[in-house]
Chains A and B, each alone.
Chain A
Amino acid sequence: MSMAVGFGLLGLLAVLSGAAVFWVNSMARATYALALSFVAVGLQVLFLQQNYVGVVTILMMVMEMAIMAVYMVMFMGMNPALMPMSMVHSNKAALGIAVATFLALAAGVLLIDWPTRRGTPAPDVTAALGDALMGSKMLVMVVTSPVMVATIVAGISLAQHRTRYDRFGDDLTQRPSHDTQPGGGGR
């Protein structure tokens, strides 16, 4: 019983702090309201015995929001988000979409014929989840990850304003390099 109440309260906290993202008027508050929402969800996942998934969700999301706050403050709005600002736009369309989505999902929850449990949970549910998600697709994952890394590296290389010729000179012999931002490695 107390487990169910705790799970429900965390769910409520997750939903309310998720909604707070749009009520508050500062980028910092919006970002950390979202972080709080994710922490509540991560704690809920602990209730599902998925300890690793739950704790890692908290880890990744708090880190992401800490970095996100930097970018939000830098790039959002006409003022660089250091002043109070509204977190919403296109209100009417957004309201319509939100209500329609909620109704569709809620209808799904109520109308679907939920299956009854067959069998028992695996002893290590985290391993079982990983196997179910990835087991048959490991080859695809192994092939995709180097392609993704290569895409990131290529994207950054192409987007770079300065190239190695700017840093090291036309014959790449200039040492130390000519950098606008000093590094600590002494290159």
Chain B
Amino acid sequence: MPDEALRTLAPAWSAVALLILGALTVAASMLDGVLAARSHGAPNGAVRPFGEAARLMRQRRRTTVEADTLLWRTGGAGLLVVAALMVTVVPLGRWTLFDLDVGVVWFNALDVVVWALVWLTGWGANSAHSLVGGYRFLAHGLGYELPLMFALVCPAIAATSLNVGRVAAAQDGLWFAVWMPVAFVLFLLGVVAFSVWGPFSPAIGSDIAGGARAELSGVDRLVFEAGRYALLAAGAAFAVPMFLGGGAGPLLPGWLWTLVKTLVVLGLLVWLRRRVPAARPDTFMEVGWLVLLPAALLQTLVVAVVVVGRG
């Protein structure tokens, strides 16, 4: 059901969406560069990503014996594609690229595709450490995915719609992040997890020589890393219509509010990386199923009762 307030743009505008996603990706990597430099006491952190990108683009590609190149490249390059597909359903102010009636499920399906992509990246190189990293990601996935799904269900129940624009419009006056905080936190946790970021980075951990990305080099590594930042940015952008009232806000136009909120969430997620310890895949499973999932279910129950009570 298309929302009357939303205008669907011509497909050519997806180039602009890609540019915005690219800018957010660069901003996230620059912020991470600054934070990394500060923790080491080094200067010029903001330009580190550019130097790193230039270095990787000139680096010779590493080859491994009997690599499954098709699956390997698909996995590494797929993250960027998934992030780009995710932002198609995020409304920017009153414009959207794809006013899908089941936009929330669309986002969910795409974040599940990341399971396949990270594992394929780990598998393709035909390298033991790389494969261990791929399995670590799936182990995390079993722990974070169901809480993330129920976190996505909560705003949809409250808005009685799976359309992202309608979910945003349903938060008139009171953001979902305020009255369903557990779902909001679990959603952000899911975004961090499917970006293989911060506490969920053991899949690419240095204890297994870089894990899923152990054998990635040159431009393949650049695309994989950019994909992680892009996923983080797409997840932050999706949090805005789902939990933070979309483009609602005083003075500024809707599209600008959406961008400002996205940047704030993205900055928070990037900053978290150095603040939260790594979640070991074997022990996180129990946390996921015995703590996070019941919390998500209770949150869903509360939201459902509120919605029924309101009539």
Contact = CB atoms under 8 A, between A and B. Distances in A.
Interface of A: 26, 28-29, 32, 35, 51-52, 55-56, 58-59, 62-63, 65-67, 69-70, 181-185
A29 B109 contact: no
A63 B105 contact: no
Q: How large is the interface on B (under 10, 10 to 19, 20 to 34, 35 or more residues)?
A: 20 to 34
Given A51-B102, A59-B108, A32 B116 contact: yes
A35 B286 contact: no
A66 B112 CA distance: 9
Contacts of B120: 28, 32
A185 B138 contact: no
A29 B72 CA distance: 11
Contacts of A70: 119, 135, 138
Contacts of A183: 283, 285-286, 290
A59 B105 contact: yes
Tell me the dominant secondary structure on chain B's binding face: helix
Contacts of B287: 184-185
B109 A56 contact: yes
Interface of B: 68, 70-71, 100-102, 105-106, 108-109, 112-113, 115-116, 119-120, 123, 135, 138, 141-142, 145, 162, 279-280, 282-287, 290-291
**When A and B form their complex, which 6 residue pairs have the shortest distance between CB atoms, in order from nearest?**
A184-B283, A183-B286, A59-B109, A66-B115, A184-B287, A184-B286
B116 A55 contact: no
A59 B101 CA distance: 16
B286 A66 contact: no
A28 B109 contact: no
A137 to B, nearest CB: 23
B105 A184 contact: no
Which of A28, A52, A56, A65 lies at the interface centre, i.e. has the most chain B CB atoms within 10 A of its CB? Answer: A28
A66 B138 contact: yes
B71 A28 contact: yes
Nearest to A31: B116
